Amino acid sequence: MIGYDSGDLTVLIADPAGFAPTATYWLTFNQLATLIPPKGHSA
C-alpha cells in the first residue's frame, strides 16, 4: 500500500508482480480487507 484517499476510503496498491494490468491500482478498504486471509486455528 503506497497511498490512500480518506474521502473515498480507497487505498493505492503497488504491485510489481502483475496482479493488475498496471503496476498500481486502487482498491476500496473492503476489497483490501478480503485479501487478508483469516487465521486458522486447530485444536
Check if the beta carbon of residue 25 is closer than 8 Å to that of residue 15.
yes
Q: Is the pLDDT of residue 40 over 80?
A: no
Q: What is the pLDDT of residues 4-21, one digit of tens each?
A: 999 999 999 998 876 667
In angstroms, the CA 24 to CA 36 distance is 18
What are the boundaries of each domain within the chain? 3-34
- pTM value is 0.67
